[in-house]
A and B are shown apart, each in its own frame.
Chain A
């Protein structure tokens, strides 16, 4: 039952990623085409733009939601692939614990960056 819930969460996270990462990918990889038709923003990796986005609360929240969804979706997907090898219960446990460990550590790093970027950059909210 718990696996079923995680699987449904995996699909739901996929839909969240589709919307948020779809927007991110369109801006990053179709930016020049979008600018040709007059709807593209300025250079997304210019520091002034990175800093300005990071200070907006909506971006901070969106980054953290995308981070959580992407890490869960990716690591649960990897775990599913590895568990298909018919591992011993002990090895399955090790895979699960490792995925959780990597996920939590990287979530903390990414969430810290999102929060710090909103409050610590010059002209930040603090």
Chain B
């Protein structure tokens, strides 16, 4: 995963490769949620780069705008846009979780480990569950919206 610096100051070879990105090892579902966060993030970035160019068509007036919107009106694009919404909902809520964990919010105070120990990873579990339930709710609402007639 991360580059490790040796005593000579040279970086070690990354032996994990792609698994270093996607594998969670013993870190549990939080680590896999993080890997999926990155996949969703890259998909959103790809969409953003195209979205900037496509929506700039508005500057050239109504005719150009209509042609551009007609080009992306096919049901395939509507499903694609739902997937973008799904990626956003997941990335946003998991991102909130990551920021909270990064800042140590909601994890409780550090304490002397007295048996039976409570892993810090387990302390994050309710946060993961809450964020995923909210993301699932947004996916359901977005899916429902997709099937409502456009007015």
Assess the B42–A81 pair: CB atoms within 8 A.
yes
Which residues of the partner chain A approach B55 to less than 8 Å between Cβ atoms?
Answer: 113
Would you list which residues of chain A between 11 and 66 have a CB under 8 Å from chain B? 11, 14-15, 17-18, 21-22, 25, 28-33, 35-36, 43, 45, 47, 50-51, 54
Q: Does B99 have its Cβ within 8 Å of any Cβ on chain A?
A: yes
- Chain A residues, CB < 8 A from B95: 14, 18
Among A17, A22, A67, A117, point to the contact of B58 (Cβ < 8 A). A117
CA distance A33 to B56 in the complex (A): 27
Interface size class of B (residues with CB under 8 A): 35 or more
A36 with B58: in contact, given A75-B45, A81-B38, A81-B42 (CB under 8 Å)?
A: no
Residues of A within 8 A of B (CB): 11, 14-15, 17-18, 21-22, 25, 28-33, 35-36, 43, 45, 47, 50-51, 54, 67, 70-71, 74-75, 77-78, 81, 84-86, 102, 106, 109-110, 112-113, 116-117, 120-122
Sampled A-B contacts (14; CB under 8 Å)? A11-B99, A25-B89, A29-B146, A32-B148, A35-B151, A45-B69, A47-B65, A74-B48, A84-B14, A86-B11, A86-B13, A109-B52, A121-B58, A122-B61
Chain B residues with a Cβ under 8 A of chain A: 1-3, 11-14, 17, 20-21, 38, 41-42, 44-45, 48-49, 52-53, 55-56, 58-59, 61-62, 65-66, 69, 81-82, 85, 88-89, 92, 95-96, 99, 102, 141-142, 144-146, 148-151
